[in-house]
Chain A
Amino acid sequence: MAIAKQEGNFRTQEFILNMGPQHPSTHGVYRAILTLDGEYVVDLENVIGYLHRGIEKLAESRTYTQFIPYTDRMDYLAGMLNNWGYVMTVEKALGLEIPERAEYIRIIVGELQRIASHLVMVASMALDMNGYTAWMYAFYDREKILDLFEMICGSRLTTSFMRVGGVPNDIPEGFLPKLEEFLKEFPKRLDDFDNVITGNEIFIKRTKGIAPIDGETALDYGLTGPNLRASGVNFDLRKVRPYSIYDRFDFEVPVGTNGDNFDRYNMRMLEMRQSLRIIRQAVDNLPEGSIMAKVPKVLRIPAGETYGHIEGAKGILGFYLVSDGGTKPYRIHVHAPSFVNLGIYPYMAKGTMLQDAIASLASIDIVLGEVDR
């Protein structure tokens, strides 16, 4: 081991520290091999794969419909968005038009899911910096969203809500009033978060200027989603290449400047408010009509390749689907944003304090179910 410093009779050495795989700050089963010089991180190596379930392989022995429940086991904090990305890809391959009402319902649940996922990020980032209060508050609101999901699809996390051609259940009685209540209450709660976290001097001191990523580097590492936008690159699939019916909605894409931990956190806070705006418009314009397109019972996709992607909660979520004309996919590959985003973590952690490195990990918002799949 290299000798780092030598002063007088004392010698300091670099040493190796294993963080994880079972550690609360790793947000799942992830291991980081840290080389430390005192409190400072000299080097960091990602070790992943502990949560690998071979979901892409499983897909090859499932029909197109049967794979839907597996998609929400990848990013289990954003099940709806995973479902959406997948069914949209299959619909694209089939050339299906889906009913208006179904699109609106998808937008509503999709944006709710984005809020729920961002809430976890905000909560866990605060927790990793020892702010337990914020964790509790954010989870209280996430609970409200999960209650709404429970009403509309019968599950809280693993929603399996969307189907090829639409959504399986229409909006149940009592859902819209509860949603209204949420839309009314949540902005106030966001103000509370701003007071508890965003305006907290300790939080600001510990996040501003820490682990900055400039736009160029972010693009080099292939970051997407809020992490990319925090670095000042204005790229949101919902705006740049509107899928579904996003072109009908009026919303802004928050963009950061420094790409530091604070910006990454703040992106989520700002995006939640925008998501609220989208939901508001979707609820106001919700059309009547059917929720399922006419889809054959047994799905057969013509031989060929399709790639579909959506703006997931953590970045661009893409599904690459190869079909040989049968009832089961020949191959499915998932472009998982968490996996790509994790790649930049060693770059971010180098030279920062150990405690800040933990916060940096929280700031890129990974979920290991998606990293390992």
Chain B
Amino acid sequence: MFGEGLLKGLGVTIKHFFAPKITEQYPEVKPKLPPLVKSRFRLNREKCIACGICANACPNKVITVNSEKDENNKKRLTGYEMNLQYCLFCGLCVESCPTKAIEIDQDFELAAYTRENTKMDMYKEALTNPPGTAAKEDKGGKDA
């Protein structure tokens, strides 16, 4: 009978109409992303030995590592910048770091108004927001 298929389709639609809603209530409820999500990066200043391996591993030259030699001729980190507008969020930098000084983080709200603002001074950031603290706490809610 012509129309049978249409009715069947309508049946499915009605079934879904009464199914529980699945809309994410984003700005009100922040989703908690799985721990492997690479939304941004955080630097641990104590662990970083300023070797620059991460900067070399990066495909898009996102990372700039600045360092100076101290009195024992040891490298000391003096600056660490990520130009996130070019970042592919591939995680190769994190994988390559020999001391695990750079870590991934799930704080995904990175939107900026200007290109300039996408630059991240990780060296300074590391003081106020070391890995695994701060920003993580305000994440309530549940992932759908």
Contacts and interface: CB of A to CB of B under 8 A. Distances in A.
Do A and B make up one complex?
yes
Interface string B13-43: 1001000001000000000011111100000
Contact of B12 (A62, A153, A196): A196
B57 A169 contact: no
Contacts, number: 79
Contacts of B131: none
Contacts of A137: 16
Given A69-B92, A140-B22, A192-B12, A155 B38 contact: yes
B9 interface: yes
A155 B6 contact: no
B113 interface: no
Contacts of A68: 90, 92
B59 A69 contact: yes
A304 B143 CA distance: 48
B88 interface: yes
B8 interface: yes
A172 B59 contact: no
Contacts of A147: 143
Interface string A119-162: 00000000000000100010010000001001111110010100
B13 A133 contact: yes
Nearest to B59: A66
Nearest to A151: B34
A79 to B, nearest CB: 11
Considering the complex of A and B, which 5 residue pairs feature the smallest CB-CB distances, nearest first? Answer: A69-B90, A66-B59, A154-B36, A199-B5, A160-B90
A154 B90 CA distance: 9
A115 to B, nearest CB: 19
15 contacts: A68-B90, A68-B92, A69-B59, A69-B88, A154-B34, A154-B104, A155-B89, A158-B90, A172-B34, A172-B35, A192-B12, A195-B5, A196-B8, A201-B5, A202-B6
B95 interface: yes
Majority SS at the chain B contact face: loop
Given A66-B92, A69-B88, A154-B104, 20 more contacts: A62-B59, A66-B59, A68-B92, A69-B59, A73-B88, A137-B16, A140-B22, A152-B36, A154-B37, A155-B37, A172-B35, A172-B36, A192-B16, A195-B11, A196-B8, A197-B9, A199-B8, A201-B2, A201-B5, A202-B6
Interface in A155-176: 155, 158, 160, 168-169, 172
Most buried by A among B2, B9, B143: B9
A199 B9 contact: yes
Interface of A: 62, 65-70, 73, 133, 137, 140, 147, 150-155, 158, 160, 168-169, 172, 192, 195-197, 199-202, 204
B11 to A, nearest CB: 7
Contacts of B37: 150, 154-155
Nearest to A153: B36
Interface residues of B, number: 29
Nearest to B16: A137
Nearest to A144: B144
Interface of B: 2-6, 8-9, 11-13, 16, 22, 33-38, 57-59, 88-92, 95, 104, 143
Contacts of B95: 168
Contacts of A196: 8-9, 12-13
A76 to B, nearest CB: 12
Contacts of B4: 199, 201
Nearest to A201: B5
B35 to A, nearest CB: 8
Contacts of B3: 201
B89 A195 contact: no
A192 B13 CA distance: 9
B40 to A, nearest CB: 12
A140 B89 CA distance: 25
B133 to A, nearest CB: 20
A200 B34 CA distance: 39
A151 B33 CA distance: 8
A65 B91 CA distance: 12
Contact of A200 (B6, B89, B90): B6
A65 B92 contact: yes
A292 B6 CA distance: 51
A193 B121 CA distance: 49
A70 B2 contact: no
Contact of A160 (B33, B34, B91, B104): B91
Of B37, B59, B104, the most chain A CB neighbours within 10 A belong to B59
Contacts of B34: 150-151, 154, 172
B89 A158 contact: yes
